[in-house]
Structure 1
Amino acid sequence: MAGERGTVSERLAREFFDEMDALARAPLWWVSEDMKKLCVDTVENGPLPPVEPLPTATGLIVFEGGVVFSSRGMADVPVAAVSWERAGSMHGGVPGVMIRLFGDSMRNAMGRLMDKSLPIAPMGTIDDETLDASVITLLSVAFALMGQPSVTAVSESRWDLRRDGPQPRSMTQAAKVKMIVLRPPARTSMGNGGGAGRRAPDHRYIVRGFYRNQQYGPNNSLRRRQWIPPYVKGPAGTPLIVKESVRIWRRL
């Protein structure tokens, strides 16, 4: 039965489009393929950084190439992007933040709300608290690594007329996209006369992080656990090889 504000379907549609309007003005992040691999490896193998609130009240983060999650209801959930909004609670999900998943597959899109011309679209609701927790963990790791200048570099994306074509008027006031990439490894002497018979690796690899007891206070008499973030080692320009499958299935 329709009320003063319309039917249930109409109210849900209005709420969805209000959410998308807010998202159009929200901060945007783009995570490169290699940076994504480092984030996923940290989620799967740890150790995880200290839990911190997400940096903004709303936002959208896109992972280049997507991330495949596992869920009770679906064998694989390919996720291209995640939006969030701070909230009092979430229906069966993670308290304190409401998330929405975006994918590039028609199979998981929100039916009639799917615009076939878009590269990604909102996905239908997946009622799985474990999936929600895994997504939140990935976001937390991504932003923790973004705060490590020795590991990552952040730059603002700029519209390139030759590369991107004419910029739509609707995008002239859109939030600037922050590009998150791995910082190139420091130059080493390997391969320039260093150890005889030793050959430089033909790929990059992840050196995983750890926790250590850091001294502080009067005469360094106190100790606290300090997270040492992971980083990537190996010659710049070579592929980043991760032995484990890029897939998150973690019961938190």
Structure 2
Amino acid sequence: MIDHDMACGACGYALVAIHRDGGVVYEHPVTPAADHPTVPVPADRFDSVFRRCHLCSVHQPWWEYRTEAATVETIDDPVTIIERYSSRWHVCGECAHLIDTDDRPALTRRCTDVMNWAPDSPAALLLAGLHEAIILSREPGRTLITTGTWPALPLKPPALPRIRDRLAALLRGPTGLPHPLADPAVRHEIADGLDQGQFTWIDGEFTDLIEQVHTDLPATPVTERIVPSRVSLLTWANPVGPHRLAAASWTRHQHGWRIVAYRTIHADLPEHVLTALRHEVGRLIPVHVRDIPDDHTVTADDPLAPLAATWLVIAQQLTRDEPTPPEPGLGRSYRRARRPPPDIRIVRIKPAARRTTTVNTAGGRRPPEHRFWVSGHTRHQPYGPGRTLRRDIPIDPYLKGPDGAPIKASTTVRILGDHHH
């Protein structure tokens, strides 16, 4: 998993995740002496988490730089303040641009302007020294931060091949990603899987349905019965679930799957910074990576619950798909590169059937008024000569109820289309 998003329970600041000795520890970016200890708690327990660039303290950070640990001692007679800085620096796009261009004076000016410090003040001179130490001691490269709270960026079906290619380039390229995508072999395997199969775009009505029903998802084993085998990238019309997932991909292993969930990445940045971000990163970033074995169970509180619910509805044949062309000119560029043409499919809920149902109210059980999840179970199935033999077959969770009836979810109801062929 790479979606470590922790904050300090004492102060509400986002913490820095450091992988050490096979585990993860969390630190404050700066720790004044004799201040409170770190109290790591999941960030989603807070209404808001203070995410800030460690340099300018203005914008949300995008990049993590690694440096030597630094200690700054400030003497303001009779008080001496000692601040110990983490070796990880979370930096916004604009400050990152100044670091990468080694523009120390501009970086210091940017930060002193925010603090309203005079350029020749002792604090400004101290800050300039700290910036010089960061730039001169930083390790090569930088790592993309994947736990931010960015505005959603709608993904359109014709653009999916271009978005996929940019994502695959990110995975194959030098840009740092958190564990476990720090491993080049893992990154290349995921990128190779993205290059194969079709694109699936879940339309708005289907996405709304998933947003409603995934919170009631029964325990669902992940098996070949429900996982689409030909899909290389699945995207929803709008972000789904509490983690606001925008897309997912998966690759088959001998004993299971590697599943990656993505979010869109967007920001209000200066044009030159945004252009560089789009070129290096693209529009999707991986926020959740999981290796799961066959028959691993996904429940409603799992980050992958929206994906499992989407698989189940498709496997139950409640949907239809239709092809859609890529962006103009994209097909020609694929042919020039001798690549197979992109196969983009829009998946929609089947339309409701129009027919009259007669209900016998004189006796017997009244049919349900809603559709609802039925948990997975085993059916004792007859087979063989004269259907005299019996065998147990697994039945995956499914939506049950009259054709065309609304779906009963936790708090809302929506009409689900007919599933007859």
Report the TM-score range of the alignment, normalised by the length of the smaller protein: 0.5 to 0.7
- CA 1:23–1:112: 2 relative to 1, 3 Å: farther
- CA 1:12–1:221: 2 relative to 1, 3 Å: closer
- CA 1:170–1:244: 2 relative to 1, 3 Å: farther
SS in 2 for 1:178: strand
Provide the residue aligned with 1:13 in structure 2: 173
Provide the residue aligned with 2:73 in structure 1: none
Please report the RMSD computed on the Cα atoms of aligned residues, expressed in angstroms.
4.9
Match of 1:79 among 245, 248, 253: 245
User: 1:37: how far off?
Assistant: 4.0
Match of 1:208 among 373, 388, 394: 373
| 1:110-159 superposed Cα distances (whole Å, 9 cap, x missing partner) | x99841799831145679x9xx963545434423332333x111222234
Unaligned runs of 5+ in 2: 1-139, 143-169, 175-183, 268-273, 360-368, 413-421
Provide the residue aligned with 1:51 in structure 2: 222
Which residue identity is paired with 1:29? Answer: T
Provide the residue aligned with 1:120 in structure 2: 283
- CA 1:68–1:114: 2 relative to 1, 3 Å: farther
Residues 1:106 and 2:275 are matched in the alignment: no
SS in 2 for 1:115: helix
Contact between 1:157 and 1:178, CA under 8 Å: does it hold in 2?
Answer: yes
CA distance in 2, matches of 1:124, 1:180: 24
Count residues with an aligned counterpart. Answer: 203
| 1:190-237 superposed Cα distances (whole Å, 9 cap, x missing partner) | 7xxx9xxxxxxxxx964433557454246567474663621686879x
SS in 2 for 1:230: strand
CA distance in 2, matches of 1:101, 1:141: 14
Provide the residue aligned with 1:153 in structure 2: 320
SS in 2 for 1:122: strand
Which residue identity is paired with 1:147? Answer: A
Match of 1:178 among 310, 325, 345: 345
SS in 1 for 2:278: coil
Deviates more, 1:12-21 or 1:135-144: 12-21
CA distance in 2, matches of 1:113, 1:143: 35
Deviates more, 1:10-19 or 1:39-48: 10-19
SS in 2 for 1:146: helix
CA distance in 1, matches of 2:388, 2:351: 34
- CA 1:206–1:36: 2 relative to 1, 3 Å: farther
- CA 1:219–1:100: 2 relative to 1, 3 Å: closer
Contact between 2:381 and 2:393, CA under 8 Å: does it hold in 1?
Answer: no
TM-score (norm 1): 0.55
Contact between 1:24 and 1:175, CA under 8 Å: does it hold in 2?
Answer: no
| 1:4-40 superposed Cα distances (whole Å, 9 cap, x missing partner) | xxx7879973545785465244322111233234445
Contact between 2:198 and 2:230, CA under 8 Å: does it hold in 1?
Answer: no
Which residue identity is paired with 1:120? Answer: R
Structure number with higher relative contact order (C-alpha < 8 Å, ≥ 6 residues apart)? 1
- CA 1:189–1:79: 2 relative to 1, 3 Å: same
CA distance in 1, matches of 2:188, 2:141: 14
CA distance in 1, matches of 2:342, 2:240: 24
- CA 1:231–1:244: 2 relative to 1, 3 Å: same
Greater gyration radius: 2
Contact between 1:48 and 1:141, CA under 8 Å: does it hold in 2?
Answer: no
Contact between 2:262 and 2:288, CA under 8 Å: does it hold in 1?
Answer: no
Contact between 1:205 and 1:233, CA under 8 Å: does it hold in 2?
Answer: yes
Provide the residue aligned with 1:229 in structure 2: 398
TM-score (norm 2): 0.36
Deviates more, 1:210-219 or 1:178-187: 210-219
CA distance in 1, matches of 2:173, 2:403: 49
Provide the residue aligned with 1:167 in structure 2: 329
Tell me the percent identity.
15
User: 1:65: how far off?
Assistant: 0.9
CA distance in 2, matches of 1:11, 1:183: 36
Match of 1:33 among 204, 222, 245: 204
- CA 1:117–1:135: 2 relative to 1, 3 Å: same
CA distance in 1, matches of 2:373, 2:288: 34
Unaligned runs of 5+ in 1: 1-6, 70-76, 89-94, 195-203, 246-252
